[in-house]
């Protein structure tokens, strides 16, 4: 194992980690603020990928200028999903919530199959395929762009929750729902915004991943599980934890990939997660 390989795995792991972190953060956000295990989270990543694909293939616009529009659509979708769906399942049993979200996941995945067909597509945008060479380490441009976008968004989220009134209000709702209601906060609006943001998280992860992996409808399910796992590892409900967990996952997968292929890497990841689930289900930073 050469040093070059190790450094490559390290960098690749960190970059991918940023993307996984954003994905996991979205899930943690919903679980922490609204107390809903949104198993359909990965579906939006899938839609993100398909959106980019459509933008690249069918419109004249290059993929990345268009993505702002896509993210806006995602945000609005999140608001609508809260207003017309999630709002009504907040009070049912936890297991039924998971069942509901699983149902959503199935609907989304199969709608994707209906619209896009069951085969995989590959996104091929020239400038994203360029290989950047940096001191002998070769990286795809797409990875850097994707990671960069994720990091930017994470910073944006952090600032949003820490500095803006709305963001702080949402955090208040998370900590104490009744208290928030009593102080006149519009909890419904807060929840809706939180879900909107989480959908955008998922979408960004999808947009970032689109140039890197084959796009097919089953991807949604895979990323749904991954998002759950990352969130659980970091402590379901802790956004910062999810970010850290994302990096750990990225590094784990990346290092395993240099030893063997991705499917085994994922299998081992699942195994590790299972063990963690047994001994420390609250994850690294979680309290739920």
Give the residue, chosen from 5, 6, 76, 111, that forms a contact with another protein under the rule CB under 8 A.
111
Distance CA 239, CA 262 (A): 26
Vertex 207: Cα angle to 202 and 212 (nearest 5): 115
- 236 phi-psi bin (left φ>0, alpha ψ -120 to 50, beta other): beta
Q: By CB under 8 A, which span of 105-113, 162-170, 208-216, 244-252 interacts with another protein?
A: 105-113
What mask, x for binding another protein by CB under 8 A, covers residues 59 to 98? --------------------------x--xx--xxxxxxx
Q: Scan residues 203-242 and list those touching another protein (CB under 8 A).
A: 221, 225, 228-229, 232, 236
113 binds another protein (CB under 8 A): yes
Query: Residue 134: enclosing H or E segment and its boundaries?
Result: strand 131-134
Q: From the CB of 89, what's the least distance to another protein, in Å? A: 6
Q: From the CB of 262, what's the least distance to another protein, in Å? A: 11
Q: From the CB of 44, what's the least distance to another protein, in Å? A: 16
Q: From the CB of 203, what's the least distance to another protein, in Å? A: 21
How distant, in Å, are the alpha carbons of 29, 31, 81, 183, 187 from that of 179? 19, 19, 25, 6, 10
- Contact present, 90 and 188 (Cβ < 8 Å): no
Closer to another protein by CB, 214 or 281: give it: 281
Distance CA 169, CA 173 (A): 6
Distance CA 138, CA 12 (A): 10
How many C-beta atoms lie closer than 10 Å to residue 21's C-beta?
A: 31
16 binds another protein (CB under 8 A): no
Q: From the CB of 91, what's the least distance to another protein, in Å? A: 10
Closer to another protein by CB, 46 or 142: give it: 46
Q: By CB under 8 A, which span of 12-20, 47-55, 111-119, 120-128 interacts with another protein?
A: 111-119
Residue 75 tokens read as: 């945000």
How many C-beta atoms lie closer than 10 Å to residue 188's C-beta?
A: 13
Binding site for another protein (CB under 8 A): 37, 85, 88-89, 92-100, 102-107, 109-111, 113-114, 117-118, 221, 225, 228-229, 232, 236, 263-264, 266-267, 270-271, 273-274, 277-279, 281
């Amino acid at each position: 194992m050469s040093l070059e390989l190790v450094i490559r795995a390290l960098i690749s792991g960190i970059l991918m980690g940023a993307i996984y972190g954003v994905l996991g953060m979205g899930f943690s956000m919903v679980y922490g603020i609204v107390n809903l295990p949104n198993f359909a989270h990965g579906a939006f990543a899938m839609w993100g990928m398909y959106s980019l694909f459509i933008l690249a293939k069918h419109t004249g616009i290059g993929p990345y200028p268009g993505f702002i529009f896509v993210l806006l659509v995602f945000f609005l979708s999140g608001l609508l999903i809260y207003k017309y769906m999630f709002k009504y399942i907040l009070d049912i049993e936890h297991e039924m919530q998971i069942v509901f979200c699983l149902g959503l996941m199935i609907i989304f995945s199969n709608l994707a199959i209906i619209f896009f067909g069951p085969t995989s597509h590959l996104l091929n945008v020239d400038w994203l395929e360029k290989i950047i060479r940096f001191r002998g380490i070769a990286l795809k441009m797409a990875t850097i762009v994707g990671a960069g976008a994720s990091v930017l968004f994470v910073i944006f989220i952090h600032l949003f929750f820490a500095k803006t009134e709305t963001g702080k209000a949402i955090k208040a709702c998370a900590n104490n729902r009744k208290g928030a209601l009593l102080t006149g906060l519009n909890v419904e609006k807060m929840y809706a915004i939180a879900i909107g943001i989480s959908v955008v998280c998922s979408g960004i992860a999808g947009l970032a991943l689109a140039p890197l992996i084959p796009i097919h409808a089953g991807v949604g399910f895979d990323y749904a599980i991954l998002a759950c796992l990352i969130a659980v590892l970091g402590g379901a409900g802790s956004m910062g934890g999810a970010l850290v967990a994302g990096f750990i996952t990225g590094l784990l997968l990346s290092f395993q990939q240099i030893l063997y292929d991705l499917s085994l890497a994922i299998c081992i990841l699942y195994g590790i997660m299972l063990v963690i689930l047994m001994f420390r289900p609250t994850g690294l930073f979680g309290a739920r």
